[in-house]
């Protein structure tokens, strides 16, 4: 009788272990599926960001007209980096600068994330890095413009505007470059795989 009880206890232990292993297997499988879904969501978000970022820049570069109070390069920056802020109608320049900085940092991080979540050739990675470099230069000129215009720093506002225009011309060229288009195509293709 003791042997039967021991055998039954061993059998129930083995069954319990099998059930535990199955539960672990199912949990790991579910985690993998969840991971793939979250990867897809992030990659899709980055693809949508990049496509919109390029389209917005090109639209504003080609269509925005500047004026004396807001030269074209500054108007483009405000529309790219502070569109939501402008829609609220707030006129505080310090709050606007904070909003510009927040959105600039967010956009720059998304450009960096693209290189993490997608696989590109060295040439396409270089294209993305060039876009980041130009965006950084553009933003640094926005800050310089702000500080010079407010009298916090010495400088020539007109010279800064010319430099900003030059960067916008370079950005337009990079955005229209076949490598940028190949980045978008590659991102879209990788999204279809998953």
pLDDT tens column, 90-146: 677 788 888 889 999 999 999 999 999 999 999 999 999 999 999 999 999 999 998
pLDDT beyond 90 at 66: no
| % of the chain at pLDDT higher than 90 | 51
Give the start-to-end residue ranges of the domains of the chain: 40-193
Interatomic CA distance for residues 78 and 142, integer angstroms: 10
């Amino acid at each position: 009788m003791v042997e039967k009880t021991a055998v039954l206890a061993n059998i129930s232990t083995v069954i319990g272990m099998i059930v535990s292993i199955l539960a672990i297997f199912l949990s790991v499988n579910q985690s993998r599926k969840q991971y793939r879904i979250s990867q897809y969501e992030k990659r899709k978000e980055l693809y949508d960001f990049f496509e919109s970022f390029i389209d917005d820049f090109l639209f504003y570069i080609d269509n925005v007209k500047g004026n004396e109070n807001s030269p074209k390069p500054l108007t483009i920056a405000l529309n790219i980096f502070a569109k939501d802020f402008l829609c609220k109608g707030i006129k505080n320049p310090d709050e606007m600068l904070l909003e510009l900085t927040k959105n600039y940092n967010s956009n720059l991080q998304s450009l960096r994330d693209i290189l993490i979540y997608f696989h590109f050739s060295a040439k396409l990675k270089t294209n993305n890095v060039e876009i980041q470099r130009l965006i950084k230069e553009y933003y640094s000129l926005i800050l310089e413009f702000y500080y010079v215009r407010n009298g916090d720093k010495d400088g020539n506002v007109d010279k800064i505007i010319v430099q900003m225009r030059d960067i916008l011309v370079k950005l337009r060229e990079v955005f229209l470059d076949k490598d940028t288009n190949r980045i978008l195509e590659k991102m879209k293709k990788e999204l279809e795989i998953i």
